[in-house]
Amino acid sequence: MIEIEDQKPTPSSSHLRQKPPKTGYRVSGVPKRYQDQVQLSAVLRPYYGKLRNDADIANTTGWVLHYWRRRAEQLAVAGCKPFFGEGEEARLPNALGCRVSFVLTYGGKKSTPCGMPTVCPFCWAREVRQYWMRIDKAFFPPAPGAGKRRVRMVDIGHEQKKSSSFTHSVKDGEPVAKSQFNLIQRIYTFQLPAIHRVPGPLGPTGHSDVTMHGLTAWLKSRTRGWPYPQLHRLPECRNILKAAGPGSGLLEAIHFRRIAADDHGQRETTPVWEVQIRQVILSNPGTMPPTPQFHSMVKPSYSFTIENPKRKRVVSAVARALHYPNDIIDLRVPVDRIVEYLNLRREFRLIATYGRFRSSKI
């Protein structure tokens, strides 16, 4: 069993080596194969930085569980669905009892995933792993006749077998060969006003403008092609796949957060939303997919190509694209901001895969 240092939390510390509040389980090991590394890199490491050893991972998992439970209770009190409701519709108990990712546990009451990957950090990590497993197989297709790789899941059963002691490298006999494809990472950043006017239906006197939330208008345009077809991702992604060659793939994730407008150094109260498109592309050698030109970007697009990447680079790319929105469990962020965030994203598909990444055969 991993020994966790018992230290009292201090306001200036990062909780890395502090014992979390009571979790209801004991840690038997910390698996760190590639499918486990992608979960750590998407959720724990961005929030806590460098994790030096198994105790750091065990402690931070306990703290994330503590923060998640407190936030879930706040969301229920605020009347946010699905945490608040009647009978089977109230999913607060599921959230409070969600099985943790990142560590192997034993003891305590056996629990199951709550099944809310858009908000729960543990279910988010499990979904990231599922995306990565498809993407990894596309970059590193198994040799003809090769058997199925052994998959060790963090959240299946209560195991007592310990894992190896490394944190930033993957040993345990996993292959380290380079991919025959190229990896392209892209990021596009936008800023949007809270209130936006878009052209409405054509009437007797012409088009009548409709007031719409700026973020909603942008998300509708990106995912459905209205009211601004030039933002629609479907034709853009088709062109990227066509240029990337046979067997190419694309993952796109949309992230957004609420910020305050800044006018000549004076902080205003008018809310502004920052949105990022993050893409991971598998392309054939010698190809260069087109880079879309978005006139409303506030930063130059970030594009980086890695030729014949190793699996560790693919892990990093997927984790960066599918970064967990840490504001959800940051208790310094008011709960009404989180309710607003969840309501805005509720009707939109923010993560999409195309081409070879859509294969469900693992």
Q: Tell me how far apart the alpha carbons of residues 243 and 235 are, in angstroms, rounded to a whole number.
A: 12
Tokens of 213: 């939330």
Q: What is the domain range of residue 190? A: 182-307+332-358
Question: How far is CA 211 from each of CA 194, 216, 226, 342, 344, rounded to the nearest angstrom?
Answer: 10, 11, 14, 21, 16
CA-based radius of gyration for the chain = 22
Q: How many domains does the chain have?
A: 2
Which pLDDT tens digit goes with each residue over 58-87? 999 999 999 999 999 999 999 998 887 666
191 lies in the same domain as 244: yes
223-272 pLDDT tens trace: 999 888 999 999 999 999 999 999 999 999 999 999 875 544 555 556 78
Domain-located, residue 313 = no
Average pLDDT of the chain to the nearest whole number: 83
Predicted structure pTM score: 0.85
pLDDT tens-place string over residues 127-156? 999 999 999 999 999 877 655 554 444 433
The mean per-residue pLDDT over the stretch 25-54 comes to: 92
For 264-295, how does the pLDDT look when each residue is reduced to its tens digit (9 = 90+)?
455 555 678 999 999 999 999 999 999 988 87
Residues paired with 358 in a beta bridge: none
When pLDDT is cut at 50, 70 and 90, the band that residue 335 belongs to is very high
Q: Mark whether 112 and 198 lie in a shared domain.
A: no
pLDDT band at 194 (very low <50, low <70, confident <90, very high): confident
pLDDT value of position 168: 44
**Could you tell me if 130 and 186 lie in one domain?**
no
Answer whether residue 345 is part of any domain: yes
Task: Give yes or no for a cis peptide into 227 (omega within 30° of 0).
Answer: yes
Contact 226, 215 (CB under 8 A): no
Q: Are residues 242 and 114 in the same domain?
A: no
**Integer angstrom CA distances of residue 230 from 70, 225, 344:** 41, 7, 22
The amino acid at 17: R
